[in-house]
Structure 1
Amino acid sequence: MNSARSPLPARLVAAAGQWLPPLIVAAGFLGLWALLTLTIYKGKGFLVPAPQDVAAAFAENFAVIALASLTTLREAAFGYLIAIALGILIAAVLSQSRILERSFYPYAVLLQTVPVVAIAPLIVLWFGYNDFSVIIISLIISLFPIINNTLLGLQSTPRSLVELFAMHRTNRLATFWKLRAPSALPSIMAGLKISAGLSVIGAIVGEFIIGSGGTQGGLGVQIIFAQGRMYTSLLFAEVICATLLGFLFFLIVTLISNALLGHWHESAS
C-alpha cells in the first residue's frame, strides 16, 4: 500500500523543486520593486510606478492591451513559422554539400548582422506599412539561429554511424531522414528555443519602426503611444505583456521539445 502511494509525494516534491525557486525569485523581485517605489522612487511614479499602479493600468486598458497582444502574437507567430520552415530547409540543403555551405552560409551570417533599422526603409518600400512588413522583420531576426543550430546538428552526426549506413549502401535521402535528422533534433530544438523569443522581439521592433496596418496596432505601437503620453504605468504593463508573450512562445517550444526528445536525450530530463 505504501509503495503504491509513494509516487504521488515524489511527484509533488519534484513539482515543488521545479516551480518553487522561480516563484520565490518572482516574489523577491516584486518585493524589491515595491520597496524601491516606497524609498528611492517615492513620488516619482513617472519613472518607476508601483506594482499596484501597473496592475491598475493593465485592468483599465485591458481591452486595448489584449487586442494589441493578439496583433503582435499573430505577427510573431507567422514570422516564426516561416523562419522555421526556411531555416530548416536552408540548413538541410547546405548540409548536403561543403561547396554550398561555403558559398551561401556567409550570407546567412551577413543577414543576421545587418541592422534591421537600416533595411526597414527597403522593407517598407517593397511591402508597405502593414502587418506583412512586421512579419518580414520578425522572420529576419529569428531566422539565423534556426539555420545555424540545424546545420550544426546535421553536421555533428557521429561519423561511425554515417560510415555504417554507407556500408549498407543506404542512399543519401534515407541517411538524412533516418540518421542525420533524428541526430540533429536536439540542436534543432535548441535553435527553435532561441528564435522563439527573438520572433516576438522582431515583431515589437517591426512595430516600432513600421507601425501596423491594423486599427490600433500591436504592443510595439501601443508602447510608443504610452511613452508619448508619459503614461509610465501603462508602459510597464505593456512591456510586461510583451515579455510574457515571448515566454509563452519559449514555453510552447520547450513542451514540444520535451515531447519529441522524450527520455532519450539529456536536454529533456
Structure 2
Amino acid sequence: MTDVEHELGGSIALDVETSRGSARRSMLGAIAGIPPWAGAIIGIVVIIAVWWLVAATFFHLTGSVPTPWQVAKHLAGALVDPVYWSAIAATGGAALWGYVWGNLIAFFLAFLVLVAPWFDGLATQLAVVCSCIPITAIAPIVTLLSHPGSRATSIFLAALSVIFTTVVGSLLGLRAASPTQLDVISAYGGGRITQLVKVRLIAALPSIMAALKIAAPAAFLGSVLGEYFLIGVDKGLGIMLLAAQASANPISLWTLALISGGVAGLAYWVIGLVGRLVSPWSSGEQR
C-alpha cells in the first residue's frame, strides 16, 4: 500500500470519526435543549406506559396492580365525592398543625445554637433522634397517651417528620452569613442577637425555605401514617387506606395513594413558590 493510500485511508477515518462526534454533540445538544416541562411530560408518559405494561402482564389475573385507566376513572369519581375531600381536610389539618409545631421546635433549637454555641452538639443529637426514632414503635405510645377521638398521633408524627430537616437546613443557612458582615456588627457593639436579626436570618432564608419545602410533604405523609394508629376517628386518608386494604380493593388503594402523593406534591410546590417570593435572589429572579 502506497503512502497516498495510507493518507487517504487516515483522512477517511478521521472524517468518519469527526462526523460521529458531531452527531453525538448535536444529539446531546438537542436533549439539553428540551424544556423542563417537556421532560416532565415525557417522564410521566414513560411511567404510565410501564405501569400499564406491568398491570397487563404480571398482575393481569390477580388485579393487584390496576391499569392507569381504571385508577383514573376511580380518581375522577373521588374528586367529586365530598367523603374524599373531608378525608383530605382532616388529614391535611393534622399535618398542618404538626408542620407548625415541628418547625417551631426546629427553629428554637437552631437559634439556640447560635445564641449558646455549647448547645450545638445536644441540638444536633436531638434532631438525629427525631429522624431515627422508629415511628411504628412510638406511635402506639402516643395513641395510648391521648384520648379516643384525638388526632394527637397524626400531629405528633407530622411534627416528628420535619424536625431534623428544618434543624439541619436552618443551621446551614444561619452559618452561611458573611464573616465580614458579622465583624461589622461586632465592631459597632452588636452581640449574637443583633447578628442573628441583622445578618444571619437574611443569609439563611434560602436554606430555611428549602428545608421547609422538603418538610411539607414529609409532614403530610407523617399525618397519613399516624392515622393508622388512631382510635375513635373515622375520617382521614389513612383511615380510608385501612378500609380499602381490609376490603382488598386495589383500585381504591391506588387512588388514595395517588391522592396522598398529589397533596404532598402540592404542599411542596406551594412552599417552593413562597420561597421564591421571599428570597428571589436565591434563584436569580428580580423583584
Task: State the TM bucket, normalised to the shorter chain.
Answer: 0.7 to 0.9
2:17 maps to none
1:224-263 correspondence runs (5 A): 224-262=242-280
Looking at structure 2, the residues matched to 239 and 186 of structure 1 have their Cα atoms a distance apart, in angstroms, of 31
Question: How many equivalent residue pairs?
Answer: 250
How much does 1:28 deviate?
2.1
Give CA-to-partner distance per residue, 1:133-152, whole Å, 9 cap, x none: 21111111111211121022
1:169-180 correspondence runs (5 A): 169-180=189-200
> Matched residue of 1:174: which SS?
helix
1:200 maps to 220
Looking at structure 2, the residues matched to 103 and 228 of structure 1 have their Cα atoms a distance apart, in angstroms, of 43
How much does 1:97 deviate?
1.7
- TM-score normalized by the length of structure 1: 0.85
1:3 maps to none
1:123 maps to 142
Q: Which moved more, 1:56-65 or 1:227-236?
A: 56-65
Looking at structure 2, the residues matched to 63 and 205 of structure 1 have their Cα atoms a distance apart, in angstroms, of 22
In structure 1, list runs of 5 or more residues that go unmatched.
1-15
**1:50 pairs with one of 67, 70, 74:** 67
Looking at structure 2, the residues matched to 38 and 121 of structure 1 have their Cα atoms a distance apart, in angstroms, of 39
Relative contact order, CA 8 A, sep 6+: which one is greater?
1
Looking at structure 2, the residues matched to 101 and 193 of structure 1 have their Cα atoms a distance apart, in angstroms, of 24
In structure 2, list runs of 5 or more residues that go unmatched.
1-33
Q: Which moved more, 1:158-167 or 1:139-148?
A: 158-167
2:134 partner letter? P
Structure (1 or 2) with the larger CA radius of gyration: 2
> Matched residue of 1:152: which SS?
helix
Looking at structure 2, the residues matched to 121 and 76 of structure 1 have their Cα atoms a distance apart, in angstroms, of 18
Q: Are 1:142 and 1:202, in contact at CA under 8 Å, matched by a contact in 2?
A: no
1:72 maps to 91
Change in Cα spacing, 1:90 to 1:226, as seen in structure 2 (3 Å) is same
Q: State the identity %.
A: 24
How much does 1:268 deviate?
6.2
How much does 1:207 deviate?
0.8
> Matched residue of 1:49: which SS?
coil
Q: Does structure 1 residue 92 correspond to structure 2 residue 91?
A: no
1:248 partner letter? L
Q: Are 2:143 and 2:229, in contact at CA under 8 Å, matched by a contact in 1?
A: no
> Matched residue of 1:95: which SS?
helix
How much does 1:198 deviate?
0.8
**1:107 pairs with one of 110, 126, 131:** 126
2:18 maps to none
**1:163 pairs with one of 183, 189, 212:** 183
Q: Are 1:208 and 1:220, in contact at CA under 8 Å, matched by a contact in 2?
A: yes
How much does 1:60 deviate?
4.4
1:190 maps to 210
1:138 maps to 158
How much does 1:250 deviate?
0.3
Looking at structure 2, the residues matched to 240 and 35 of structure 1 have their Cα atoms a distance apart, in angstroms, of 18
How much does 1:52 deviate?
1.8
Change in Cα spacing, 1:124 to 1:113, as seen in structure 2 (3 Å) is same
Q: State the superposition RMSD in angstroms.
A: 2.1
Q: Which moved more, 1:249-258 or 1:72-81?
A: 72-81
How much does 1:168 deviate?
2.2
Q: Are 1:37 and 1:48, in contact at CA under 8 Å, matched by a contact in 2?
A: yes
1:205 partner letter? L
